[in-house]
Every structure is written in structure tokens, then in C-alpha cells.
């Protein structure tokens, strides 16, 4: 049996994934489909009610002013259609971002406007992803500027034949890191509570990191033994195998430095690079680029140390990708950094 248009149209409106709202020119609700009610969090049929009474008279209606204004503009401004995006908070407390487009309903002869129809859809996820990519781009730009400034400063010192102590450049890296973090917190919605600080499985987090730390210490110690035999000039002549004398105040505050650096390298940089890159290799690319950039920041210590730092940061990046927090990585970073210092790999 052939169905008539009058039978098919209500089914189309009912099954649409977009919300459909129709009003007469006086602002009375003629129709709101089921999807529209779901998007607006309305459990009851609002047909026959005035829009202002149904939506604007309730408590907290001012939170949805931008959405309501798009509707009311269409009602009172009869000369043109309207479209835009606005946040909408449902009575249940859920906030969505809706994209809304209005057009006019005309009489059969097409001369008279008898109402408006508003189509609205949920673009919350799209808006979130777009915001993440915009903010990730800001983070990447800030990072590149800071790295370039550091390299220019280091090149200037070499050009002037100035060799500052290693701790001066280390403090400069830390200062740049702090400045970068402040800029990111001020220019994006990024929160220090959001990324890299939560531990959901302590065993899965700390056990492999402690094993990596122990293995790294063994490698550093054996490496020094080998270098003392094959390249004795690599270390200062007459220096003890383990030299407590190279310790400075920087070693006292080093735990805080490690947390800051790991948070910036993982929670800020690697996470935001992952949002910029697309495809199945996005995670690997974010690990590689973040490790390479922070490895370059250690160029003042020479090529071997820079390469070693890059490899270590790459390994830490893999662990962060799997664990989702920085605390186990801080253990690896701190212990191996201090061991490298007192074995005189750095100083």
C-alpha cells in the first residue's frame, strides 16, 4: 500500500538525528521532535506552549541566553534567516554545544510567513576537538619559540667565547620551562590537574619504572668502567669514580625540576603533539618529536649527552603513552640524572 506524503513526513521528522523545532510568528511551539527534546533535555511534550514560557521562565535560563537569542532573533527579525552555535545546559545539568539554523515557514502561495523552523544538532565533540587542536597549536608554537631562543642564546655565548657553567644553562632551561607553562596556562583551557598526574594502577606504573631505573644505573656504571679503560680522557683526570664533591644546591631542588620537566615534556608537549598529529602513527610521532626537542635543549653538554638524553626521553615517552602519568617517569629521570652527575658524565 502506497503511503501518502502526509504519512511519511511525520516519520521523517521523528527519525531525524537533528532536533526540529517549529514556532508560529507569535513564538508558540507548534512542534518539537523527539531528538530535539532529547538534545534540550525536555522529557515532556511542549506543543502549544509559548517559547518564552517554556524555556525562559525557568530557573537558570540565563545560562542558555545565547541559544535562546538565536531563536528569538528568528521570531522577531522576519527579514532573514539566522544560524550559529551556542552552548546549552539541559535541566539535568549536562552542557552541550548546539549548532542551530532557522528558516521560515510560508503559506501555500509563498507570500506570507507563518512561522519558523529551527534545526539544531549536537556539535559538542567537534567543538571540543577543534578547541584541542587550536590549543595544541598554541602549545607547539610557544615551545618552538622557547627552544629557538635557547639555541640562539647558546650560540651567542659560543660566538663570544663565553663558557658558562653547566648549571647556568640548566637553570635557563628550567626558567624557560616555567615561562612556557605560565603562557600555556594563560592562553589555553589547559589545567595542570588534567594531564599526567593521576595514578590508576600503582603496580603497573611503578614496578616497570623501578626496573628501568635499576637497569639504567647498571648501564651507567658499566659504561664508566668501559670508558675509563678505552677513553680515559672522557672524564676529568684524578676525579674519583663516584664524586660527591660535584653536588650543588641544584641537586637539592632537582626533584622539583624533574617533576616540572616531565610534566612539560609529557603532559603538555607530548599530549598536545598527539592532538596535532593524525593517523595511526600519531602517538609514535608525538613521542619522537617531544624527545628530539627536549634532547636538543641539552646541546650545551655535548653530542653524546644530547643523544643519550634524547633516547632516554624517547623511552620515557613510550612509558607515558602506556601509563598516562608522569610519576614513575620522574623516578627514572631523577635517579639516572643524579647518577650521571656523580659519575661525572655531566660535569
pLDDT of the residue at 4? 53
Better-predicted residue by pLDDT, 120 or 194: 120
Domain boundary among the residues 122, 154, 170 is at 122
Q: Which of these ranges, 50-59, 213-222, 329-338, has the smallest mean pLDDT?
A: 50-59
Q: Are residues 229 and 308 in the same domain?
A: yes
Q: How many domains does the structure of the chain reveal?
A: 2
Domain boundary among the residues 61, 89, 122 is at 122
pLDDT of the residue at 1? 42
Residue 27 domain flag: yes
pLDDT of the residue at 183? 79
Q: Quick check: 3 pLDDT over 60?
A: no
Q: Quick check: 82 pLDDT over 70?
A: yes
C-alpha cell at position 264: 612539560
Q: Are residues 63 and 190 in the same domain?
A: no
Q: Quick check: 143 pLDDT over 90?
A: no
Q: Quick check: 99 pLDDT over 90?
A: yes
Domain boundary among the residues 104, 122, 140 is at 122
Q: What is the 3-state secondary structure (H, E, C) of the chain?
A: CCCCHHHHHHHHHHHCCCEEEEEECCCEEEEECHHHHHHHCCCCCCCCCEHHHHHHCCCCHHHHHHHHHHHHHHHHCCCCCEEEEEEEECCCCCEEEEEEEEEEEECCCCCCEEEEEEEEEECHHHHHHHHHHHHHHHHHHHHHHHHHHHHHHHHHHHHCCCCCCHHHHHHHHHHHHHHHHHHHHHHCCCCCCCCECCCCCHHHHHHHHHHHHHHHHHHHHHHHHHHHHHCHHHCCCCCCCCCHHHCCHHHHCHHHHHHHHHHHHHHHHHHHHHHHCCCCCHHHHHHHHHHHHHHHCCHHHCHHHHHHHHHHHHHHHHHHHHHCECHHHHHHHHHHHHHHHHCCCCC
The span from the CA of 180 to the CA of 53, in Å, is 49
Sign of the dihedral defined by the CA atoms of residues 158, 160, 161, 166, in that order: negative
Q: Are residues 15 and 145 in the same domain?
A: no
Q: Of 60, 41, 121, 61, whose CA–CA distance to 85 is shortest?
A: 121
Residue 229 domain flag: yes
Q: What's the pLDDT tens digit per position in 278-337?
A: 778 888 999 998 888 888 877 777 787 788 888 888 888 888 888 888 888 899 989 998
**Residues spanned by the domain of 105:** 5-122
Residues whose CB falls within 8 Å of the CB of residue 75, separated by 6 or more in sequence, listed in order: 23, 25, 27, 51, 116
Q: What is the CA radius of gyration of the chain?
A: 30
- Residue burial 56-74, b: 16+ Cβ < 10 Å; e: rest: eeeeeeeebeebbebbbeb
pLDDT of the residue at 59? 73
What integer best gives the mean pLDDT of the chain? 82
Q: What are phi and psi of 243, to 5 degrees?
A: -110, 95
The CATH number of the domain holding residue 70 is 3.30.450.20
Amino acid at each position: 500500500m502506497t503511503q501518502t506524503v502526509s504519512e511519511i513526513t511525520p516519520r521523517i521528522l521523528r527519525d531525524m538525528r537533528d532536533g526540529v523545532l517549529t514556532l508560529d510568528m507569535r513564538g508558540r511551539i507548534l512542534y518539537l521532535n523527539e531528538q530535539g527534546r532529547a538534545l534540550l533535555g525536555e522529557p515532556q511534550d511542549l506543543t502549544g506552549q509559548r517559547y518564552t514560557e517554556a524555556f525562559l521562565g525557568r530557573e537558570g535560563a540565563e545560562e542558555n541566553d545565547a541559544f535562546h537569542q538565536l531563536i528569538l532573533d528568528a521570531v522577531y527579525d522576519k527579514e532573514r534567516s539566522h544560524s550559529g552555535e551556542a552552548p546549552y545546559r539541559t535541566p539535568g545539568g549536562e552542557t552541550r554545544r548546539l549548532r542551530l539554523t532557522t528558516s521560515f515557514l510560508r503559506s501555500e502561495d509563498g507570500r506570507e510567513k507563518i512561522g519558523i523552523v529551527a534545526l539544531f544538532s549536537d556539535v559538542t565533540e567537534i567543538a571540543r576537538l577543534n578547541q584541542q587542536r587550536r590549543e595544541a597549536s598554541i602549545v607547539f608554537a610557544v615551545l618552538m619559540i622557547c627552544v629557538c631562543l635557547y639555541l640562539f642564546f647558546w650560540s651567542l655565548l659560543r660566538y663570544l667565547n663565553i663558557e658558562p657553567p653547566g648549571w647556568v644553562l640548566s637553570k635557563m632551561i628550567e626558567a624557560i620551562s616555567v615561562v612556557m607553562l605560565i603562557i600555556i596556562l594563560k592562553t589555553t583551557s589547559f589545567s595542570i590537574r588534567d594531564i599526567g598526574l593521576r595514578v590508576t594502577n600503582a603496580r603497573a606504573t611503578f614496578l616497570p619504572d623501578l626496573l628501568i631505573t635499576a637497569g639504567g644505573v647498571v648501564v651507567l656504571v658499566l659504561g664508566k668502567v668501559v670508558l675509563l679503560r678505552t677513553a680515559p680522557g672522557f672524564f676529568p683526570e684524578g676525579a674519583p669514580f663516584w664524586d660527591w664533591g660535584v653536588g650543588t644546591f641544584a641537586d637539592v631542588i632537582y626533584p622539583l625540576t624533574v617533576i616540572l620537566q616531565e610534566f612539560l615534556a609529557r603532559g603538555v608537549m607530548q599530549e598536545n603533539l598527539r592532538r596535532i598529529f593524525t593517523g595511526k602513527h600519531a602517538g609514535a610521532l608525538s613521542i619522537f618529536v617531544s624527545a628530539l626537542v627536549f634532547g636538543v635543549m641539552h646541546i650545551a653538554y655535548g653530542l653524546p649527552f644530547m643523544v643519550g638524553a634524547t633516547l632516554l626521553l624517547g623511552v620515557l615517552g613510550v612509558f607515558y603513552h602506556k601509563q598516562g602519568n608522569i610519576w614513575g617517569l620522574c623516578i627514572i629521570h631523577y635517579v639516572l640524572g643524579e647518577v650521571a652527575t656523580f659519575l661525572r658524565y655531566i660535569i
